[in-house]
Amino acid sequence: MQDDRGLKRIFTLSWAYNLFQDLVGATNSRKWVAEHFWRAQPGQRIIDLGCGPATTVHFLPAGVKYVGFDVSDKYIASARTKYATDPDKTFLVGVPEDFVNHLPQQMQNADLVIINGLLHHLDDAEALTALKLARKSLAPGGRLVCLEASFLVSQSFWARWVLKQDRGQNVRNEPEWKALVSKVFDKFETYILTGLLRIPYTLIVIETRL
């Protein structure tokens, strides 16, 4: 679930979302994760679950075949406008439940599935559907890379406080992330990232390969 009440409502606008992401350093963190974890190659098929205004595309090499979907029609409209001249970029409005049992052809055989900040907006049932969708979308040998906010057993007061203000109402702690992902994937690695943003914040990368 996403909390868009009060001042947080402004982030439903793509320009405000992108400005905030730049200010807190999330844009730089995407660059870092793109280089160290996504490692996308031209020509690869990439699916982005909860793509927002598709800020991720900027950090992918030219020539990837990209499909992103998001529940927000405003974000998807903004992404479609930005990439209107690129036939290899497709944007859909929807939630994981819409696709998991009716996988569109363009969401099959993915080399890389990106989940960047979606799962902490979803309760366990929805998050499991998203992970199942990722699994169904992956080609043999394909990889899933999730980047999510995470509580830690030991964490600074400010990092916890900032995480509690997040629009996503389902920030989990490290054992909870592992328990969730293990319901869909037998093998995966997790990495805790601190210091990537300009604000106190803790991120977890979850990476798995089919």
Ligand X SMILES: C[S@@+](CC[C@H](N)C(=O)[O-])C[C@H]1O[C@@H](n2cnc3c(N)ncnc32)[C@H](O)[C@@H]1O
The residues of the shown chain that bind ligand X, judged by CB under 6 A, are: 2, 50-52, 55-56, 70-72, 75, 95-96, 116-118, 121-122, 126
Cβ closest to ligand X, residue 44 vs residue 116: 116
* Closer by beta carbon to ligand X, 97 or else 140: 97
Amino acid residing at 33: V
Q: Could you tell me the smallest distance in angstroms from the CB atom of residue 193 to ligand X?
A: 14
Shortest distance, position 186 Cβ to ligand X, whole Å: 25
The C-alpha atoms of residue 66 and residue 46 are separated, in whole angstroms, by 5
5 vs 187, which CB is nearer to ligand X?
A: 5
CB of 118 to ligand X, least distance (A): 5
Instruction: Provide, rounded to whole angstroms, the least separation between the CB of residue 2 and ligand X.
Output: 5
Residues 85, 66, 206, 36, Cα dihedral to 10°: -60
Between 115 and 154, CB nearer to ligand X? 115
- The DSSP symbol for 59 reads G
Q: Compute the distance between CA of residue 152 and CA of residue 7 in angstroms, rounded to an integer.
A: 27
- Residue with the CB atom nearest ligand X in the bound state: 52
Question: Which of 44/55 has CB closer to ligand X?
Answer: 55
Helix (H), strand (E) at residue 75: helix 73-82
Minimum gap (Å) between residue 106 Cβ and ligand X = 17
Quote the CA–CA distance of 142 and 128 in Å, as a whole number. Answer: 19
The closest of 20, 49, 54, 40 to 117, measured between CA atoms, is 49
